[in-house]
A and B are shown apart, each in its own frame.
Chain A
Amino acid sequence: ILNVEQSPQSLHVQEGDSTNFTCSFPSSNFYALHWYRWETAKSPEALFVMTLNGDEKKKGRISATLNTKEGYSYLYIKGSQPEDSATYLCAFLVQGAQKLVFGQGTRLTINP
């Protein structure tokens, strides 16, 4: 059974502070790692699709890194804003399989 772990499960951050959280996944048979942001009462929205070891992607104040050899990805948010409050999901795509395995998510709350 493939296991994707995210930590922490929840996080409270003061507005303006930077934060990061982790996604751990199996290091074998890696094909891709996805990050999604899921705001309450909305649809999950894709942030990044990462495929190469050492990959770094950036979208505004949010960035992500990928280490496929050790099986982890970090998501960073710089200068947190209230609109960053959401659950952040990562999902692992196994080579040869047409499905994503999701972690439980990190629920981020930004305190004004």
Chain B
Amino acid sequence: GAVVSQHPSRVICKSGTSVKIECRSLDFQATTMFWYRQFPKQSLMLMATSNEGSKATYEQGVEKDKFLINHASLTLSTLTVTSAHPEDSSFYICSAMGTDFSAEKLFFGSGTQLSVL
């Protein structure tokens, strides 16, 4: 099946620094990628949807200047947490799909655990 690679799997950073998380589709072209955040014992919450070559669509309450998403190619999307603070500590996971959203399942990365000190 299709593979989505997400790096890094874990990152610890100091408050005020920026962290970039990469999500790559290895054997298919991902026209759409989704970024989720999960707090302990809660659901996966959609942060934003990105389509290749266009600006990401952010969910209500997600700061676009804080969470920069770039989907420059059909195989790569990045999420940059800018000026990270302890409250940004969370589990971030990406997912991707090919063409027909209505019929297709999502392929997920393995997630990134971000800890901001």
* Residue among A42, A100, A103, A105 facing the most chain B CB atoms (10 A cut-off): A100
Q: Is residue B49 contacting chain A, with contact meaning CB distance below 8 A?
A: yes
Known contacts A42-B110, A99-B49, A105-B43; A49/B105 CB under 8 A: yes
> Could you tell me if B43 and A102 are in contact, using CB atoms closer than 8 angstroms?
yes
Task: Tell me the nearest residue of chain B to A35, going by C-beta.
Answer: B105
Distance (whole angstroms) from the CB of B37 to the closest CB of chain A: 11
> Could you tell me if B106 and A93 are in contact, using CB atoms closer than 8 angstroms?
no
Distance (whole angstroms) from the CB of B112 to the closest CB of chain A: 12
Return the CB mask of A87-112 against B: 1 if under 8 Å, else 0: 00100010000111111110000000
Residues of B within 8 A of A105 (CB): 43
Return the CB mask of B27-50 against A: 1 if under 8 Å, else 0: 000001010100001111110010
> Could you tell me if B103 and A102 are in contact, using CB atoms closer than 8 angstroms?
no
Residues of B within 8 A of A89 (CB): 44
The contact of A104 among B42, B103, B110, by CB within 8 Å, is: B42
> Could you tell me if A100 and B106 are in contact, using CB atoms closer than 8 angstroms?
yes
> Could you tell me if A49 and B104 are in contact, using CB atoms closer than 8 angstroms?
yes
